[in-house]
Amino acid sequence: MLREVRELLELPARFVDVTLHDVESTSILMKDGSAKEIATGRSSGISVRVLDRGWGFAYASSVHELKDAAERALRGAKLAKERVELAEVDVTQDKAEAIAKLHPSRATLEEKLDYLSRAHEVTKSYESVVSTSFAYNDASVKITYLSSEGAEVEMRYPRVAFYAQVFAKDGAKIQFASERVGATSGLEALANVESVAKDACEKALRLLHARAPPSGEFTVVIDPKLTGVFIHEALGHAVEADHVVQGESILAGKLGQSIASELVTIYDDPTLKQGFGSYFYDAEGVRAQKKALVENGVLRSYLHSRETAAKLGHEPTGNARAQGYNFPPMPRMSNTYLAKGDASFEELIEDVEFGVYLLGSRGGEVDTARGVFQFSAEEGFLIENGEITTPVRDVALSGETLEILRRVDAVSKHWGVHIGYCGKNGQLVAVGDGGPAIRTVATVGGTQ
Amino acid sequence: MTPEQALRWLERQGCEGEIYELKQRSYGIEIKRGEVELVEAGEQHGFAIRVLLAHRMGFAYGNELTQELLDKALSVARVSPQDEHLAFAGEQSYPSVKGIYDSRLASLSFDELEDKLEAMLAPAQSLGVEVTQASVAWEVSEERMLNSLGVEVSEEGTEIYAHLSAVAKRGDDVATGMHFDASRSFDLNFEAVGETACRLAKESLGAQKLETGDYAVVLRPIAMAELVENVLIPAFSADNVQRGRSRLAGMLGEQVFGEELSVVDDATLEAGLETSCFDGEGTACRSKVLVEKGVLRGYLYDIYTARKAGVESTGNAFRSGFATLPRIDASNFIIQGNSSLDEDEALVVHGLIGAHTANPVTGDFSVETRNAFYGGSPVRKAILAGNVYDLLSSVSGFGRDVTQISGVVTASVGFSNVRVVG
């Protein structure tokens, strides 16, 4: 197979690369204690990129279609008109495999089911919990990347995730809460599913007694999970260099400038051990590297593919990623997080007269060109005279990226990274989002 | 092996089998800063197998139909729980549906798109805004299903999608506009996609803050569809209803929305984006009334939830590719009403940011607006907060601009009294 691929790399074009994907996966959905949906399977495919003036991209789910795909890519490349250059990178030959103590391909279906049964068992002691869904997903991913420059990299990643969603009821009131855990590793990352399920149950119960939040501009303290999503939405997307090049990022032309409070330092790190968004080499065979996006408030770097790096005359950062063989790579985040500070949690809230403490994330979205974002917390509490008081629910925050980053005035020393999937132009990739608890000012959207 | 051979082998093992086959050709063009940068062409082919072995369900998927795949599906069935409500569709007749396949799309070449792309990009220049990105994608797919109970059905479909994002700048002021459209045939109006996106960007320049308060709000079809997809459609799923996760559970025959509002889920809609003659389990698709003048009339079922409830499947088990099990979803979810719409003195909202963060169980939402106008003037930032059930009980009017946004068919809808945080 690889020999045929190597022949293809000789196509008459400025640059050719070929990626082979092979993914074996198992997913189990347990509904209310019964393992309703178990799916296993394998999907593989091949993608070919050809650079003439612009890109031609083709893929096929059968490796036998390789030659056909290459011809389609070549024809496509001749039609594209925008002149594309690629930044120079080290050409690598390497094989790398992420460590798994208990590799998903070596575990039986029964063993996988057991994680869900253990989680469900925990929920039985909560009377108000009326419905539960627990999901187990694993994937054994093998990616082989070859380029006409001579790169040849083979990577293997086991990835596991566990999701809990529980519904609690009190009279006519119904609320739900979710928790998740996962890693680029084996099943050992799921050792504590019981405590994850327990956290979800307790959160759902708290939400039953929470009231709608106030609305308006307030001091907000956000927990590590939500800080991660905030950094991802508000800053991360705006430093993706394709947005910068296309003139749709509020951070275009701001490298070296102060864009945030001095307390703000932000990294993108695909080398994070077991990180959900970790990888060895990106989708263009460029070695993964940790880089500071923001350092003490100063914008330091964008997230680049080889193409965007060449366009802006920057060093490549190894951030080209693709969801699978049927998608072209583009600049993406990996594990993105805010560095910890030195405040204790008490110091974050003690001098807040009135504010909102927000925890957990239900997702978010951003308009990178205007720098306006929205994200939603799973739960919250009012802060009154330095004390955590009334629980609130369905709290959404919105704000302008630069304003909210400038108004960060306290950063705690408690830190964590959480798993997520990031969607962009129809492609989903696994990411890690994280940080400490921080304090800033934002608009809270409530019905009160 | 062929699907027929696979079924016969499964039957010899004492189980019922079902085979779903998907063949897809996909094409795309990506435009960056007004120029074609990437041209894409792909092919996918895959199989999904479900088996029923003594009331236990097994599922496996792969690119080829092999013995290994059948063995895998059987081994999943062996560890799955027994459930008498699990069943496959029986032999039945299917409706004939129109307008879902266009031979022009099936054989479309990139050259034939050149004029269309020009038409889509042209409005940017005349309006003095920049195109940041645009794309056109089209797809030709063929689905086939057969099972041990005599189901044997197939369908070919085509679809084309176009999108354009534009940015308008005046001094330090930046405004964005985005629009998209999709069609089952090549008659898609590319020029309107470009024109709408560019106009929205230009008209959103000079946006001002809005005072927090209660306003009359008009949701344009895209904004309406975003809210409906994320918050309302899950409530009609019989799976959510049966598991106590829907606000609509136990409310059949009750007034759940305002009298002005009716909802029909019609999988047979001519040229509908979600139109099909059979669902992901091989059940014949049809049209059903979900809400009649505000009164709840029905839910969306697959075979399993229907048997549990003692009714017929509504043909709403849909597949998203060959690697996933069929799941309950709406087909063409049509929102109907006929009172007229008054847009004066209303906050008119084109799109939402973060609609997927709304609470699908309670219906509570708090979302940022995209391209919002009050009295014709652009608004800089406005969060809409409320509850979708309260919202749909306060409908004040429907526009004439009926259009389909992915699965939702709707016009602009007006609401009285929505909380807006400026």
ipTM: 0.91
Whether B362 sits inside 8 A of A175 (CB atoms) is yes
Same domain, B189 and B337: no
In this prediction, residue A448 carries a pLDDT of 60
Mean pLDDT for chain A overall? 94
Residues of A in contact with B45 (CB under 8 A): 61-62
Same domain, B48 and B171: yes
| pLDDT of A447 above 80 | no
Map out the domains of chain A as residue ranges: 2-208, 216-445
Which domain CATH number covers B39?
3.30.2290.10
Chain B residue with minimum CA distance to A57: B40
Chain A residue with minimum CA distance to B418: A447
Look at domain A2-208 and name its CATH class: alpha beta
Q: How far is A130 from chain B (nearest CA, A)?
A: 8
Same domain, B231 and B197: no
* Boundary residue ending a domain (B170, B203, B236): B203
Nearest in space to B26 (alpha carbons), one of B180, B163, B158, B179: B158
d(CA A196, CA A330): 33
- Which regions of chain B are under pLDDT 50? none
In this prediction, residue A347 carries a pLDDT of 96
* Boundary residue ending a domain (B145, B177, B203): B203
Query: What's the start-to-end Cα distance of chain B, in Å?
Result: 62
d(CA B51, CA B61): 12
Same domain, B336 and B193: no
| pLDDT of A367 above 90 | no
Query: Which 8-state DSSP code applies to residue A281?
Result: B
Q: State whether residue A232 is helix, strand or coil.
A: helix
Same domain, B268 and B192: no
pLDDT in tens, A150-191: 999 999 999 999 999 999 999 888 999 999 999 999 999 999
Whether B362 sits inside 8 A of A394 (CB atoms) is yes
Asked if residue A32 lies in contact with residue B240, where contact means CB atoms within 8 angstroms, the answer is: no
Asked if residue B392 lies in contact with residue B247, where contact means CB atoms within 8 angstroms, the answer is: no
Residue contacts between A and B (CB atoms, under 8 Å): 250
The domain tally of chain B equals 2
* Boundary residue ending a domain (B183, B203, B223): B203
Same domain, B126 and B73: yes
Same domain, B171 and B279: no
Top-confidence residue, B6 or A212: B6
User: B179 is in which domain, residue-wise?
Assistant: 3-203
Confidence of residue A446 (pLDDT cuts 50, 70, 90): low
In this prediction, residue B323 carries a pLDDT of 94
B contact test, residue of A376, A392, A395 with most B CBs within 10 A:
A376
Mean pLDDT for chain B overall? 95
Nearest CB among A81, A113, A169 relative to B244 is that of A169
- Chain A residues 164-223 with a CB less than 8 Å from chain B: 167, 169, 174-176, 212, 215-216
Lookup result for tokens 């998903």: A104
Two structure tokens written together for B404: 């389909």
Whether B38 sits inside 8 A of A57 (CB atoms) is yes
- For Cα atoms B172, A312, B127, give the angle at the middle one, nearest 5 degrees: 40
Per the DSSP assignment, residues forming a β-bridge with B379 are B208, B372
Q: Position A281: which residue type?
A: Y
pLDDT in tens, A77-107: 999 988 899 999 999 999 999 999 999 999 9
- How many whole angstroms from its chain centre is CA A333? 7
- Chain A residues 11-70 with a CB less than 8 Å from chain B: 25, 31-32, 34-45, 47, 54-62, 65, 68-69
Query: Which 8-state DSSP code applies to residue B283?
Result: P
In this prediction, residue B34 carries a pLDDT of 84
In this prediction, residue A62 carries a pLDDT of 87
Please enumerate in sequence order all residues whose Cβ is within 8 A of that of B328, keeping only pairs 6 or more positions apart, or say none.
Answer: B237, B238, B239, B300, B301, B302, B305, B316, B317, B318
Same domain, B167 and B60: yes
Whether B354 sits inside 8 A of A365 (CB atoms) is yes
Same domain, B51 and B193: yes
Same domain, B169 and B213: no
Q: What percent of chain A has pLDDT over 90?
A: 83
Q: How far is B420 from chain A (nearest CA, A)?
A: 8
In this prediction, residue A373 carries a pLDDT of 85
Per the DSSP assignment, residues forming a β-bridge with B183 are B160
